[in-house]
Amino acid sequence: MKPHLLQNEELKELIAKIPGWEIISNHLEREFNFGDFIEAFSFMTKIALICEKYNHHPNWENVYSKVIIKLSTHDLGGITNLDQKIASEINEIFEK
Amino acid sequence: MKPHLLQNEELKELIAKIPGWEIISNHLEREFNFGDFIEAFSFMTKIALICEKYNHHPNWENVYSKVIIKLSTHDLGGITNLDQKIASEINEIFEK
Protein backbone atom coordinates (compact mmCIF):
# COMPACT_ATOMS: atom_id res chain seq x y z
CA MET A 1 0.00 0.00 0.00
CA LYS A 2 1.45 3.34 -1.08
CA PRO A 3 0.51 5.87 1.61
CA HIS A 4 -0.92 9.27 0.79
CA LEU A 5 -1.79 12.07 3.17
CA LEU A 6 -5.47 12.30 4.01
CA GLN A 7 -6.99 15.62 3.03
CA ASN A 8 -9.61 17.68 4.87
CA GLU A 9 -12.71 15.82 3.75
CA GLU A 10 -11.08 12.44 4.22
CA LEU A 11 -9.94 13.38 7.72
CA LYS A 12 -13.48 14.42 8.62
CA GLU A 13 -14.81 11.05 7.49
CA LEU A 14 -11.93 9.17 9.06
CA ILE A 15 -12.99 9.27 12.68
CA ALA A 16 -16.37 7.69 11.97
CA LYS A 17 -14.54 4.76 10.38
CA ILE A 18 -12.20 4.09 13.29
CA PRO A 19 -14.20 4.49 16.50
CA GLY A 20 -12.22 5.46 19.57
CA TRP A 21 -9.40 7.18 17.70
CA GLU A 22 -8.83 10.90 17.87
CA ILE A 23 -6.89 13.24 15.63
CA ILE A 24 -4.40 15.02 17.87
CA SER A 25 -1.91 17.44 16.32
CA ASN A 26 -1.15 15.56 13.11
CA HIS A 27 -1.41 12.03 14.43
CA LEU A 28 -4.07 9.46 15.31
CA GLU A 29 -4.25 8.46 18.96
CA ARG A 30 -6.22 5.98 21.02
CA GLU A 31 -5.94 4.69 24.57
CA PHE A 32 -6.78 1.06 25.28
CA ASN A 33 -7.43 -0.37 28.73
CA PHE A 34 -7.27 -4.00 29.78
CA GLY A 35 -7.69 -6.09 32.89
CA ASP A 36 -3.99 -6.54 33.55
CA PHE A 37 -0.50 -6.38 32.08
CA ILE A 38 -0.70 -9.81 30.43
CA GLU A 39 -3.75 -8.75 28.42
CA ALA A 40 -2.19 -5.40 27.54
CA PHE A 41 1.11 -6.89 26.40
CA SER A 42 -0.59 -9.69 24.46
CA PHE A 43 -2.47 -6.97 22.57
CA MET A 44 0.82 -5.18 21.89
CA THR A 45 2.36 -8.37 20.54
CA LYS A 46 -0.42 -8.80 18.01
CA ILE A 47 -0.07 -5.19 16.93
CA ALA A 48 3.70 -5.55 16.60
CA LEU A 49 3.19 -8.30 14.03
CA ILE A 50 0.78 -6.18 12.00
CA CYS A 51 3.04 -3.14 12.10
CA GLU A 52 6.01 -5.17 10.99
CA LYS A 53 3.96 -6.64 8.15
CA TYR A 54 3.19 -3.14 6.84
CA ASN A 55 6.63 -1.84 7.85
CA HIS A 56 4.84 1.00 9.59
CA HIS A 57 5.38 1.39 13.31
CA PRO A 58 3.57 3.28 16.02
CA ASN A 59 4.77 5.55 18.75
CA TRP A 60 3.27 3.74 21.70
CA GLU A 61 3.52 3.49 25.43
CA ASN A 62 2.34 1.09 28.07
CA VAL A 63 1.81 1.31 31.80
CA TYR A 64 0.51 -1.90 33.34
CA SER A 65 -2.96 -2.42 31.81
CA LYS A 66 -3.01 0.72 29.64
CA VAL A 67 -1.70 1.08 26.10
CA ILE A 68 -1.61 4.42 24.25
CA ILE A 69 -0.96 4.23 20.52
CA LYS A 70 -0.04 7.13 18.24
CA LEU A 71 0.00 6.66 14.49
CA SER A 72 1.33 9.01 11.84
CA THR A 73 3.45 8.84 8.72
CA HIS A 74 6.57 10.84 9.42
CA ASP A 75 7.87 10.75 5.85
CA LEU A 76 4.73 12.51 4.65
CA GLY A 77 4.27 14.70 7.73
CA GLY A 78 0.80 13.63 8.80
CA ILE A 79 -1.98 11.05 8.80
CA THR A 80 -2.23 8.76 5.79
CA ASN A 81 -4.46 5.98 4.54
CA LEU A 82 -1.87 3.56 5.93
CA ASP A 83 -2.36 4.96 9.44
CA GLN A 84 -6.08 4.58 8.92
CA LYS A 85 -5.68 0.96 7.82
CA ILE A 86 -3.55 0.05 10.80
CA ALA A 87 -5.87 1.87 13.23
CA SER A 88 -8.72 -0.13 11.77
CA GLU A 89 -6.87 -3.43 12.18
CA ILE A 90 -5.94 -2.50 15.75
CA ASN A 91 -9.62 -1.90 16.49
CA GLU A 92 -10.46 -5.33 15.09
CA ILE A 93 -7.90 -6.96 17.37
CA PHE A 94 -9.20 -5.02 20.36
CA GLU A 95 -12.81 -5.98 19.71
CA LYS A 96 -12.05 -9.70 19.42
CA MET B 1 11.21 -9.36 47.33
CA LYS B 2 9.69 -6.77 49.62
CA PRO B 3 10.55 -3.38 48.12
CA HIS B 4 11.89 -0.52 50.20
CA LEU B 5 12.66 3.01 49.11
CA LEU B 6 16.33 3.65 48.44
CA GLN B 7 17.78 6.37 50.63
CA ASN B 8 20.32 9.05 49.73
CA GLU B 9 23.47 6.97 50.08
CA GLU B 10 21.93 4.00 48.33
CA LEU B 11 20.75 6.21 45.47
CA LYS B 12 24.25 7.60 45.05
CA GLU B 13 25.68 4.10 44.80
CA LEU B 14 22.85 2.89 42.62
CA ILE B 15 23.90 4.42 39.32
CA ALA B 16 27.32 2.77 39.38
CA LYS B 17 25.57 -0.59 39.73
CA ILE B 18 23.25 -0.13 36.76
CA PRO B 19 25.22 1.54 33.97
CA GLY B 20 23.19 3.55 31.49
CA TRP B 21 20.34 4.33 33.87
CA GLU B 22 19.66 7.83 35.14
CA ILE B 23 17.68 9.05 38.11
CA ILE B 24 15.12 11.47 36.72
CA SER B 25 12.56 13.03 39.07
CA ASN B 26 11.88 10.05 41.30
CA HIS B 27 12.24 7.31 38.71
CA LEU B 28 14.95 5.36 36.92
CA GLU B 29 15.16 5.87 33.17
CA ARG B 30 17.17 4.44 30.32
CA GLU B 31 16.92 4.61 26.55
CA PHE B 32 17.87 1.56 24.49
CA ASN B 33 18.53 1.61 20.75
CA PHE B 34 18.47 -1.33 18.37
CA GLY B 35 18.92 -2.02 14.69
CA ASP B 36 15.23 -2.28 13.89
CA PHE B 37 11.75 -2.81 15.29
CA ILE B 38 12.05 -6.59 15.48
CA GLU B 39 15.07 -6.32 17.75
CA ALA B 40 13.44 -3.63 19.87
CA PHE B 41 10.20 -5.53 20.32
CA SER B 42 11.97 -8.82 21.04
CA PHE B 43 13.79 -7.00 23.84
CA MET B 44 10.47 -5.69 25.14
CA THR B 45 9.01 -9.20 25.14
CA LYS B 46 11.82 -10.50 27.32
CA ILE B 47 11.38 -7.61 29.72
CA ALA B 48 7.62 -8.17 29.84
CA LEU B 49 8.21 -11.69 31.17
CA ILE B 50 10.58 -10.47 33.87
CA CYS B 51 8.24 -7.68 34.94
CA GLU B 52 5.31 -10.06 35.16
CA LYS B 53 7.42 -12.46 37.21
CA TYR B 54 8.10 -9.72 39.79
CA ASN B 55 4.62 -8.23 39.34
CA HIS B 56 6.33 -4.88 38.85
CA HIS B 57 5.75 -3.10 35.57
CA PRO B 58 7.51 -0.25 33.82
CA ASN B 59 6.22 2.85 32.18
CA TRP B 60 7.76 2.38 28.77
CA GLU B 61 7.50 3.59 25.23
CA ASN B 62 8.73 2.45 21.87
CA VAL B 63 9.22 4.13 18.52
CA TYR B 64 10.60 1.77 15.88
CA SER B 65 14.09 0.80 17.10
CA LYS B 66 14.07 2.86 20.31
CA VAL B 67 12.77 1.77 23.71
CA ILE B 68 12.59 4.12 26.71
CA ILE B 69 11.99 2.48 30.07
CA LYS B 70 10.99 4.23 33.29
CA LEU B 71 10.98 2.35 36.57
CA SER B 72 9.59 3.44 39.90
CA THR B 73 7.50 2.03 42.70
CA HIS B 74 4.31 4.05 42.79
CA ASP B 75 3.03 2.55 46.04
CA LEU B 76 6.12 3.80 47.84
CA GLY B 77 6.51 7.01 45.87
CA GLY B 78 10.01 6.55 44.53
CA ILE B 79 12.86 4.26 43.52
CA THR B 80 13.19 0.98 45.41
CA ASN B 81 15.51 -2.00 45.49
CA LEU B 82 12.97 -3.76 43.26
CA ASP B 83 13.42 -1.10 40.58
CA GLN B 84 17.15 -1.56 40.93
CA LYS B 85 16.86 -5.32 40.53
CA ILE B 86 14.72 -5.07 37.42
CA ALA B 87 16.99 -2.37 35.91
CA SER B 88 19.90 -4.72 36.49
CA GLU B 89 18.14 -7.65 34.83
CA ILE B 90 17.16 -5.43 31.89
CA ASN B 91 20.82 -4.50 31.46
CA GLU B 92 21.76 -8.18 31.43
CA ILE B 93 19.23 -8.86 28.68
CA PHE B 94 20.46 -5.88 26.68
CA GLU B 95 24.09 -6.93 26.93
CA LYS B 96 23.43 -10.47 25.74
Residue B1 lies in a domain: no
Name residue A56's beta-bridge partners: none
pTM of the model: 0.95
* Domain count for chain B: 1
Structure confidence at residue A25 (pLDDT): 87
Look at residue B92 and give its three-state secondary structure. helix
Does residue B62 lie within any of the structural domains?
yes
pLDDT at A14: 93
Q: Is B59 helix (H, G, I), strand (E, B) or coil?
A: strand
Strands A66-71 and A27-33: antiparallel
CB A62 within 8 A of CB A44: yes
Average pLDDT over residues A75-92: 96
DSSP letter (8 states) at residue B36: S
- ipTM attached to this prediction: 0.94
Residue A92 has pLDDT above 90, yes or no: yes
Q: pLDDT by residue (tens digit) across B5-34?
A: 998 899 989 999 999 999 998 999 999 999
What is the rounded radius of gyration, in angstroms, for the C-alpha atoms of chain A?
13
Pairing of strands B66-71, B27-33: antiparallel
**What pLDDT is attached to residue B1?**
75
Whether residue A2 is contained in a domain is answered as no
DSSP H helical ranges for A1-96: 8-17, 37-54, 81-95
pLDDT score of B49 more than 90: yes
Instruction: Please tell me if residue B45 touches chain A, with a CB cutoff of 8 Å.
Output: yes
Confidence grade of residue A29 (pLDDT, cut at 50, 70, 90) = very high
For residue B60, list its beta bridge partners: A62, B69
Judge: B57–A37 Cβ closer than 8 Å, yes or no: yes
Alpha-carbon gap, residue B69 to B67, rounded angstroms: 6
- Whether B61 is in a domain gets the answer yes
CATH number at residue A30: 3.30.1360.20
The answer to whether the CB atoms of A37 and B45 lie below 8 A apart is no
Q: How confident is the model at residue A21 (pLDDT cuts 50, 70, 90)?
A: very high
Handedness of CA B1, B43, B68, A91 (dihedral sign): negative
Q: What is the rounded (10 degree) CA torsion for B13, B19, B20, B25?
A: -20
Distance to chain B for A25, nearest Cα, Å: 17
- Per-residue model confidence as pLDDT tens digits over B71-96: 999 999 999 999 999 999 999 999 98
For residue A84, give its domain range: 8-95
CB pairs under 8 A between A and B: 38
Examine residue B2 and state whether it is found in any structural domain, yes or no: no
Does B77 reside within a domain?
Answer: yes
What kind and span of H or E run contains B81?
helix B81-95
Q: B59 lies in a domain?
A: yes
B16, part of any domain? yes
Min Cα separation A36/chain B (Å): 10
